[in-house]
Amino acid sequence: MTTSASLTDNSVPGHFRRHSLVARILTEAGRALQVLDGSMGASRPNPAGKMPPAGSDDAPPELSADERRHAAGLMRVNHVGEVCAQALYRGQALFCRDAAIRKVLLQAAAEEVDHLVWCNDRLLELSSRQSLLNPFWYAASFSLGVVASRAGTSYNLGFMAETERQVEEHLNGHLERLPAHDTRSRTIVAQMRDDEMMHRTTAEDHGASALPLPVRLSMRLMSRVMTTTAYRF
């Protein structure tokens, strides 16, 4: 006798599969709202710690008005990058049939939530805001993730690995461009960079395939459009 635990996707009645898909889509819609309204909480403490009171011995050095604007612009770009990563990985996981790979994608997405919260914390400290285009970035990245999920497991992981490789380069560039004495932003970005390296390595260890050159170049072009726009808006 076949038990429910041993049913495969092909043996599950169609109306149950449709119900499951609708439930997952509703879950993703709720998650998107939480990401966009900033109600998500981090699972790890901010690596920069709590902001010391102004004037205290351990207060960070003051930034000039130009430095604050520049740091806020870079941290807004980083926040948008995490909005995109969150949406991308959850979009990929939505139709991934391999439970182990789906777990890898969702774990990476969960850690990107930490980055989201840390970046938003720093934006608030800098008296700045998130990108006004976050709903667009989320929708576009989620759609891209759904498309990527159809390419097969190895290319799905390859997409994750290439995304993280490009983000590593991007964050290293920000560590060079942030004000040298903006220790709080730099500490957050350094931890984000280390996490992204781990995500890339995880994807490669699970069998990621290298993406075709045109795909990699297209990803770089889209990333440049996003970063240029998010710095100001």
10: pLDDT strictly greater than 80: no
The pLDDT of residue 9: 47
Buried b (16+ CB within 10 A) or exposed e, 171-208: beebeeebbeebebbbbbbbbbbebbeebbebbbebeb
pLDDT, tens only, 26-43: 888 888 888 888 888 999
Q: 12-42+63-232: which CATH architecture? A: Up-down Bundle (1.20)
Q: Give the other-Cβ count within 10 Å of 118's Cβ.
A: 27
**pLDDT at residue 17 in the model:** 54
DSSP state of 150: T
Amino acid in the structure at residue 31: R
**CA distances, 45 to each of 101, 201, 206 (Å):** 27, 23, 28
pLDDT of residue 115 exceeding 50, the answer is yes
What pLDDT, in 10s, does the model give residues 128-146?
999 999 999 999 999 999 9
Where exactly are the structural domains of the chain?
Answer: 12-42+63-232
